[in-house]
Structure 1
Amino acid sequence: MKYLLVLLVVVVAVGIWRSKRRAEVAEQARPASPPKHAQSMVACAHCGLHLPQADGVSDASGKIFCSAEHRRLAQQDTERH
């Protein structure tokens, strides 16, 4: 009876191990999500920082800046000169 109980525990342990292994293999075989579309990178007209075009702040002339503060500073610089 003791050997039968040990055999039952081993069979259950192997069954659990195999089911977890199958789940891991199935997860690895699942295709990755499609890549996201690349965004155009632009440089800030004031400091030169590169950032995605969608994150930039533009002025009336179409220049792109990394922040509203740099847009304001660039406008001040053009007014001085």
Structure 2
Amino acid sequence: MKYLLVLAVLWVAIWLWRKNRREEMRDAQRERTARAQRPPGAPSVGPPQAMVRCAHCGLHLPATDAIAGPGGTVYCSVAHRQAGAAPG
């Protein structure tokens, strides 16, 4: 009798395992199909930007984010522009 119980438990475990595998395979197939049907969109990153170096701390940052200083120098923040312009 105990062998029948062990066999029944084993059968249920195998059935559950195979059911979960089938669902995973179905989900993976749906994902692949959806990915293949998706139109190619714009790239996730923008075009390259010119980089400049802060004259005070040496940080490289995009030229569009830089703050212009005297004499064509660029800074990463207003505080660094003020520190760079200060004598001493």
Query: TM-score band, normalised by the shorter chain?
Result: 0.5 to 0.7
More displaced 10-residue stretch of structure 1: 46-55 or 28-37: 28-37
Structure 2 partner of 1:33? 42
CA–CA distance in structure 2, aligned partners of residues 63 and 52 of structure 1: 14
Residue 55 of structure 1: CA displacement? 1.1
Which of 2, 6, 29 is 1:21 aligned to?
A: 29
Describe how 1:61-72 pairs up with structure 2 within 5 A.
61-72=71-82
**1:59 and 2:66 aligned:** no
Runs of 4+ in 1 over 2 A off after TM superposition: 26-35
Q: CA deviation at 1:33?
A: 2.7
TM-score by length of 1: 0.60
Equivalences, count: 62
Is 63-72 or 32-41 further displaced after alignment? 32-41
When the two structures are superposed, what TM-score results if normalisation uses the length of structure 2?
A: 0.56
Structure 1, 33-42 or 67-76: larger mean CA deviation:
33-42
Given candidates 42, 46, 50, the residue that maps to 2:52 is 42
Change (3 A) 1:67 1:32: same
The CA deviation at 1:36 is: 1.2
Gaps spanning 5+ residues in structure 1: where? 1-9
Specify the SS of the correspondent of 1:73.
Answer: helix
CA RMSD of aligned residues (A): 2.5
Report % sequence identity. Answer: 38
